[in-house]
Structure 1
Amino acid sequence: MALPLMKMEEIPLFFLFSLFFGVYVFSMVGNGTIVCAVRLDKRLHTPMYILLGNFAFLEIWYITSTVPSMLVNFLSETKTISFIGCFLQFYFFTSLGTTEAYFLCIMAYDRYLAICRPLHYPTIMTPQLCYILMSLCWVFGFLSYSVSTVQLSQLPFCGPNIINHFLCDMDQLLALSCAPAPISEIIFYILSSLIIILTLLYIFGSYILLLIAVLKVPSAAGRQKAFSTCGSHLTMVCLFFGALLAIYVSPTADNPAAFQKIMTLFYSVVTPFSNPLIYSLRNKEMKAALKNILRIQ
């Protein structure tokens, strides 16, 4: 079964192709450079930069789960996706997004330990613990929606099989089903809400404790340095979770299709694109590592 994707006739397709192709190339090069820098520079073999490198690696795959298929559709007349391809995209897209939410949690935990418990940080956040936490993020990220994906794939689907979106997501696939699936829908949205709300509460709880600790720092320079290490991470959290809350936690029945597409673009495309700009490449140590690797004087 082939599922036609909605045509975007309002905007010239060549412009859309050029825009998203540029975004994709920049995201791949920027995040790939971060991965290489962390891998090759031994000065960055610390938990904070190991997390940054793995997060950049995740962003490469996250944007790859959506943008390449969009680029193909911009140039294709049929604009279709196979049944298997649609569910594979749905599974990898949701799993990678969930993994990103978990990663933002352990990155917040790392910053909390570094600022609130600096003397104990080297003994608590060891490279071994860092790798264990990252592995758990990947494992639980890909397990979270495995049951929902299997349940959804067993539903009967009937015409016209048109997806009014640029990717295969839960709402669009449920709309194509010939039979109602309230249990699958309820399970999916309860799970999504729990993951988003609990991870967000954990992150903000960490930042509240972090803020209390920073305000106790006597010098203004010390406070500024502490805030500077967290500002980029907090920006990423707001970008990613803000769009997720609008899509999966707030009621989506009354949201127009254009609103859902824009919000999905924010957390699936804008976040990977922004990562090299607002998170890692603003870091002095990361810049020094890149200059050393590229031998830029």
Structure 2
Amino acid sequence: MLSLAPAASAAAVPTQLELHRLGGPAFLLCWTLEASPFGKPSIALSTGGRRLAAASISLGLRDGRERLAVAFRASGPDGIVATLSDQGPQGDVTASFDPALVHGIADPKDILADLAPQARLTLANALVRAWPPLFGLSTAPSYLSFLRQFLLTLFPKPLAMQPSAALVEGQWLCETLVPADFAGLQAASRLDGAGLTRLTLNSRIGAADRNGRRELHLVMEEPPARGGGLLLLQSERSLVVRSLPGRQVVPSLGRWWAGKAASRDGLRNWVVEQLAGLSGQGRLLAIEMQRRVPLAVQHVRRDDDLPAAELDLAVCNQAG
């Protein structure tokens, strides 16, 4: 399946190559090698005398070695030649292989086995965010199955995204806990039987608790009746996976608003902003919630003869 063809001047040839089918015509070539002192290694793929479009990332292994992972889409009956270059004196090394000989879908455990913790997250982010649109994998059933197994191998028992309150027009306020290194939501996706779908979600991260975890609140559409999907939340260096429950009875906004959870860390003010941006009905509801359970009366008093002030009620509307 894989055969090395090193350049004549090569003194030492990397020997560990693996080829995995990600789904359909998409593959992942992994080439493991010792850390190069000469420069950043790269791999170029070609087939039938032409350059093949590919995307690569560098992954660190637990034993200090480096693995180049190259995703590509195979097309046509010709074999593929991979050329490894690390700018060293030994010259380039080539490997030829035929993707058609790889039939089964990749085993996530095999791919993750030797990777360092940060390398696992780097690979997961590429599989979720960068590679699906590049290689047309967002609706490929075999890739979706592989990706789900991969994520559940990385996160065996994902927490459920908890709905806190029903807002307006089928929107829910949801919350979950995220680790301290989750600095901010950069991308969100839903993975289910229909595909891998990018989502645009308004989010808010609260202050860290005693264990370093932080509350993440989201405004999102209520899930389908059956549920069962995964919600994938990505920050710059982190990935959080949460299971999505099916449609259920969710507390009303009024009940949540009057509870202690709503008063934490200025959360109610953020919810008012979200409601005002949803629709005209949301703006009216935001005003009603502020009128029904207003913030506590605030006093400003001075010991001298300067005027004092008292704020009885402040309500935000579309004018500010």
**TM-score category by the smaller chain?**
under 0.3
If asked which structure has higher relative contact order (CA below 8 Å, sep 6+), I would say 1
> Which structure features the higher share of strand residues?
2
> Which structure features the higher share of helix residues?
1
Query: Please, what TM-score do these two structures have when normalized by structure 2?
Result: 0.20
